[in-house]
Amino acid sequence: MADISRTLEIDPWRIVEIRVPVEHRKKHETIFSLGNGYMGLRGSFEEGKPDDLNSDRGAYVNGIYDYYPYVYNWQRPGYPARGHSMLNVADYSIIHLTIDGEDFSMDTGTVRDYSRILDMRTGVLTRNLEWTSPNGKTIRVEAERFISMASSHCAAIRFSVTPLNFTGTVVVTSAIDGNVKNCNWNTRALEVTGTGVQDGAMWLSHRTKESGFHLAYAAVHKVEGPVHRRDTLCEMENVKETVTFHPAQGQTCTVEKYVAVYDSRDYPIDKLADLAVEDAGSMSRIGMHAAKQAHADYWASFWHDADLQIEGDDAAQQGVRFALFQLAQSTGRDGKTNCGANGLTGEAYNGHVFWDSEMYIMPAFLYSRPEIARSMMSYRYHILPEARKRAQEMEHEGACFSWESISGEECGWIFEAATDQYHLQSDIAYGVIKYHEATLDDEWLFDKGAEIIFDTAKCMAHRGAFIPLKGNKFCINVVCGPDEYTPAVDNNSYTNCMCKFHLEYAYNLAQRMALEMPEKYSELAERLGIDQTEIDLWKRAADNMYIGYDEKLGITLQDDQFLYRDPVDVEELKKRGYILMNMHPLNLWRFQVAKQADVVLLMLTLPHWFSKELKKANFDYYEPKTIHDSSLSPSIHSIIASEIGYYDKAYEYFVRTARMDLDDVKGNTAGGCHTACMGGSWMSIVYGFGGLRVYDGKVHLNPYVPKDWRSYSFKILFRGARLKVDVNRTNVTLTLVEGERFDLELFGTAVTLTANTPVYEVQSHIGVQHGA
């Protein structure tokens, strides 16, 4: 992997910080974030202050948000009247320390023997250092924390202090601070509704000002060492417990903090504090060792199923494991929440869920932990009522999912790159289709998935029209494809092809349900207002979908206008920085430049619709015209470059993807991890180097080894059977590690593995040994 200026050590399983660069603190807070799908916590120092300009402290609960108004000079129909954002909730990580009256801070005194380590194998963050105060007193500080994967409402912190050259007074103050706001908000969205002490726990409760959510937080403390006294104080906006120690030199003082968080979506408001107190107390009785072991056991199971192993590139190995680690921490598992563009690591994208969820994040879970993929798609079902409201606002039929949202209400006020991206409807349908293809989960498909498929099909079938001057082909006009620098275009090929795939599936699913479960189908069709005329429209639109192709250039048209826009030197444009912010839209939109993969992405989502020759022609035409201003773009170019034999280029794009946040490639990691890009890291290896494609119910593999790697391996779970794929410079070995049978094509040859013949080995295919 390329040599880049780095602030963190390279280690296959750990993120290691041995320096404390103040200018990188916010970025490292993102990187050292912890979460469990329900709640997340940025990696701020326990003793940090809320007014520290070098820190963005943040604690989040997935799906908890509040509203803010949009103000327009001219509000037109369909413009969202308000937005909403994931909230920075009460800070339960605070532990302040004083020694003989001096406050401990990483920004004063002298720090030695410092390390902060995130162990991705176990999901535990540790920090160790020696600190000498301005008055010359030296202590050893050891801290560790985790957010439990075994108990979704719980977290724990262990904080130890040892005087090394003095005997004196050590005061540790642990707090839950309710005086919080989002880093990009001027006002607070949360009001403290109560504080108290109950059953040995301190607690605090919140409510949002507009959205109606209530939360409660509780903490129980266990202490070890020479305790002099303990005091608990409940104030208007925080609660705190202060433990005063009188240690001798070399005597360790320890505070263990067990935290629980609950909210009102699933529990009565008047029971939230009781539940938080109960869980925090229960965790304290279990104890740090046992609670941490249960948490580590989850991670061991996760890595057993999902790990990607690379020999020969520790930087890449660290990058892809970090990607999987953060995705697992940030993705909701309750069917009501999902994974936002920054996960639970920051506020840059307000916690909003985009198309990233289905197209970039879900694949890593789909073939390793499909129950998480199911939950992600169930989230779409959960917000389906809001999608129907949005369709009415936009004068559409059926359901029209919002481009960016938590609740399902549209927050994308730049309509030309938000609502205009109608491909989202087929992207979500694609997620439903791919989930069922990988799992054959008929129960979920018929109970929830079909409703998503049908209502979005209804939207798209009425969003387009049969245009006489296009030979009565079905056209979808005034849309924006994945390339957000070409909005309001006609017949974006990605949109049209995905819609065709979507409508074909919807038609076939309706036929199947009518035959296999007529009563259920009849009830659903009546409820959704679907009749035979509607279903016939889906087929007619799919059969007659307009897909642009230029005979002279031999390429798929990105849209009707792209070839006729002003030519431009993309390399010169790059010198202007982020052109979306540095160029008037009317200038940007007239140029022949793509923000990110568009036709190139289509060749991945529907690979069997394109010949290798057409894939190469499309890539050769569009890749030089793509500026990659989106972090979603390099991974897709890496995958297609692998497929068409551009191995060096594939690896260059992979490098830009795999360490996007660890190396702060875009310069904005401080605002949160790029979760879609993280999903792209997994895709670049499994879809790219591994050549995985799944279509028509069949698994296809065409792996090769990048030239600087010795080997790599990954696992695929498909229809209840798990396959391990090992690729090195001489052999490809397939091993059935779970299930009775796995059928696939390897290098175009049919292979069947069974419990009786679980291993298949073949000599590496051409390109494997050299990768170029």
Catalytic residues: 484
Q: How many CA atoms lie within 13 A of 670 on its CB side?
A: 14
420 Cβ contact partners less than 8 Å away, ≥ 6 residues apart: 478, 479, 480, 487, 488
| The three-state (H, E, C) secondary structure of 333-371, written as one string | CCCCCCCCCCCCCCCCCCCCECCHHHHHHHHHHHCCCHH
Alpha carbon 443 to its chain's center: 26
Which residues fall within 8 angstroms of residue 395, CB to CB, at 6 or more apart?
77, 78
Scanning 394-531, the segments in alpha helix (DSSP H) are 423-439, 442-444, 450-463, 493-516, 518-528
List the structure tokens of 334: 């309750």
- Cα angle 335, 184, 267; round to 5: 30
List the beta strands (DSSP E) in 189-237.
190-198, 201-208, 214-224, 227-234
Burial class (CB in 10 A: 0-12, 13-18, 19+), 485: buried
Burial readout 551-562 (b: 16 or more C-beta within 10 A, e: otherwise): eeeebbbbbbbb
Structure tokens at 117: 């380590």
Report which of 727, 752, 716, 733 is spatially closest to residue 306, judged by C-alpha positions.
716
Phi, psi (deg, nearest 5) at residue 713: -150, 155
Residues 6+ away with beta carbon under 8 Å from 645 = 767
Torsion of CA 143, 148, 152, 154, to 10 degrees: -40
Helix pair angle (423-439, 370-382), 10° resolution:
140
Alpha-carbon torsion 632, 634, 637, 643, what sign?
negative
Give the pairing type, strands 82-86 and 65-69.
antiparallel
Q: Closest by alpha carbon to 342, among 334, 354, 333?
A: 354
Say how far apart CA 769 and CA 660 lie, in whole Å: 27
**Residue 638 vs residues 317, 592, 623, 651: alpha-carbon distances, Å:** 17, 22, 11, 7
The two three-digit tokens of residue 271, written as one number: 């029971």
